[in-house]
Amino acid sequence: MRIAFYAPLKPPTHPNPSGDRRMARLLMKALARAGHEVELAATLRSRNDSDDPARQAAIARQGREIAEGLIRAYRARPVSERPEAWFTYHLYYKAPDWLGPRVADALDIPYVVAEASHAPKRATGPWAMGHAAAAAAIRRADAILLLNPSDAPGLSPALVEPERLVPLRPFIEPAGFAAARARRDVVRAAFADALRLDREQPWLLTVARMRPGDKLASYRLLADALRRIPEEPWHLLIIGDGPAQAAVQADFQGFSKDRIRFLGPRRPEDLPDLYATADLYLWPAVNEAYGMALLEAQAAGLPVVAGAFGGVPAVVGDGITGLLTRPGDPQAFATAVRALLADPERRRAMGAAAAARIAAEHDLDAAAGILDGAVRQACARHCDAGAVRRRTAS
C-alpha cells in the first residue's frame, strides 16, 4: 500500500536529534518492513510554542496552502501512483495537523494517526485554534495508534468509535544494543582508559537534549537527587547538548570533575556502546511521554531509575527492569539510586530482564505487524463508511 507520511511536531528529516525524530523514522521503517511504500509527504513543522493567535493562523494558512499543493500534485499522478492512505505521527493542540485531514478527504483515502493527545481545557483561550484542529483530526481518524497509555482518557471522548484506538508499544531496533551488551567488558575498558574512570566504581548515565522546559527541569531534579547521596561511589556520564547547556552545567556545579563528565553530543551509532558500558541509567523524565532513551538503555541491558511520568511506567517495569519514583521527588529518586548502587546483583538481574523485555515487547518487527493491521483495518473502515455514504446519497 502507498502511504503518505507526515510528522507535524518534528519531521524525520529535522537536523536536531530527538525522541520524536527517532520515532518518526522508526514508524516509516516499520511500515516499510510491513511491505508498504512510504513517502514523506511534507516537512512543515506546525509545532508552535507561542499562544499568539496571529502566529497560529499564519501556520494554519501555510498548512492549507501546502495541502492544496499536495492535492494537485497527487491528482496529477496516475491513480496507481497516488497515496492509498495518509499517516500522521504525533499531533496535539500545539502541533495540529493542517495537512492530513484535508488531503485524505480530497483523495478519499483513510487517515491514520499515531500518538495524539486531546486536551479539552484548551477548547477556549489562546490555544483554541490548535485545539479545534487537533480535535477535528482525531474525529476524522480511521485509526489512532496509542503509544502513550496516559493519552487514552483524554482521547476517548473525542473518538468516533472506541475501537479506532489501537495500542502500540513504543519500539526500537534492539539488535544493535544487544550486540553492544555482548562486548561490554572490552568497550568499558577502552572508555575507562580514555576518560580516566575507575572501572570498579558504578557508572551512571544520562542521555538527553539540553532544552529549556521539561528537559532542564529533569536535569535539575537529577542534580538535586545526586547531591543527596554524596557518600556513594559513582561517576555520572552526561551525553547531550542544546540551548540550555550552560544552565545544565551550572546546575551540576559543586560536583568534582571526577564525579560528572559532560561528553557532549554523540552520533546515534555510538550510543549502544555508551549505554552498555554503564551500570545504571538515570532520568527523572519530567512530563515525559515515554522516553526513547529509556528503551535504548534497557535494550543494552541497563537498569533504569526514572520518574513515573506519563507513559514511562509502560516502558519501565518498576521493580523488574528498574525503579520508578514519585514524579518530581528528588529524595525518592536519590533513595532509588542509592538502593541500586548498593546492590550490584540486583542491578545485573534488572539489566538482563530489561534487555529481554525490550526484545520481546518493544521490537520493530512486532510493531510492523501491529501497524500493518491498523492501516488495513483503517482502509476497510473507510471503505465501509464510503459505501454507507454513497447508499445514503442515492
Three-state SS at 3:
strand
pLDDT at residue number 86: 98
pLDDT, position 392 = 52
Nearest to 143, CA basis, from 182, 121, 115: 115
Helices 19-33 and 364-393: crossing angle in degrees, nearest 10, is 70
pLDDT on residue 52: 86
Distances (CA, A) of 41 to 2, 28, 36, 71, 343: 11, 12, 15, 11, 50
Contact 130, 96 (CB under 8 A): yes
Band the pLDDT of 17: cuts 50, 70, 90: confident
Cβ contacts of 26 within 8 Å, gap of 6 or more: 171, 172, 173, 364, 367
pLDDT tens-place string over residues 282-330:
999 999 999 999 999 999 999 999 999 999 999 999 999 999 999 999 9
Q: Which residues contact 365 (CB under 8 A, 6 or more apart)?
A: 33
What is the tens place of the pLDDT at every residue in 68-97? 999 999 999 999 999 999 999 999 999 999
In a shared domain, residues 115 and 153: yes
Measure the CA–CA gap between 325 and 347, rounded to whole angstroms.
16
- pLDDT number for residue 386: 62
- CB environment 355-394: b (16+ within 10 A), e (fewer): bebbbeebbbebbbebbbebbbbbbebbeeeeeeeeeeee
pLDDT at 107: 97
- pLDDT, residue 389, reads 54
pLDDT per residue as tens digits for the range 347-368:
999 999 999 999 999 999 999 9
Residue type, 392: T
Does 81 lie in the same domain as 119?
A: yes
Other Cβ atoms closer than 10 A to 258 = 11
Q: Indicate if the pLDDT at residue 387 is higher than 90.
A: no
pLDDT of residue 49: 83
Judge if 72 and 185 occupy the same domain. no
Same domain, residue pair 150 and 250:
no
pLDDT above 60: residue 154: yes
Q: Which three cell numbers stand for residue 38?
A: 512510504
The residues facing 280 across adjacent strands are 204
Beta pairing partners, 38: 3
**Has residue 5 got a pLDDT over 70?**
yes
**How many angstroms separate the Cα of 288 from the Cα of each of 9, 13, 126, 265, 284?**
15, 22, 24, 20, 9
CA atoms within a 13 Å half-sphere pointing along the CA-CB vector of 117: 17
For the cut 60, the answer to whether the pLDDT of residue 173 exceeds it is: yes
Same-domain pairing of 321 and 237: yes
Buried b (16+ CB within 10 A) or exposed e, 298-307: bbbbbbbbbb
| 372 and 270 assigned to the same domain | no
User: Same structural domain for residues 374 and 234?
Assistant: no
What mean pLDDT is reported for the chain? Answer: 94
Say if residue 211 is in the same domain as residue 287.
yes
Task: Give pLDDT tens digits for 185-239.
Answer: 999 999 999 999 999 999 999 999 999 999 999 999 999 999 999 999 999 999 9
The CATH number covering residue 270 comes to: 3.40.50.2000
Q: 35: left (phi > 0), else alpha (psi -120 to 50), else beta? A: left
Instruction: Return the closest-CA partner of residue 266 out of 353, 172, 346, 195.
Output: 195
- Each residue's pLDDT tens digit, 26-53: 999 999 999 999 999 999 999 988 888 8
Angstrom distance (rounded) from CA 52 to CA 54? 5
What single letter denotes the amino acid at residue 20?
Answer: D
Same domain, 329 and 374: no
Q: Please report how the helices 175-182 and 344-361 are oriented relative to each other, as an axis angle in degrees rounded to 10.
A: 150
Stated pTM of the model: 0.93
- pLDDT for position 51: 83
Number of domains in the chain: 2
Confidence of residue 108 (pLDDT cuts 50, 70, 90): very high
Q: What is the pLDDT of residue 313?
A: 96
> Do residues 367 and 273 share a domain?
no
Strand partners, 306: 283, 324
Same domain, 377 and 337: no
Residues 116 and 16 in one domain: yes
Tell me which residue range forms the domain holding 8: 2-171+363-393
Q: Detail the DSSP E strand segments found in the chain.
A: 2-6, 37-40, 85-91, 111-116, 143-146, 165-167, 203-207, 235-239, 260-264, 280-283, 304-307, 322-325
Q: How confident is the model at residue 21 (pLDDT cuts 50, 70, 90)?
A: very high
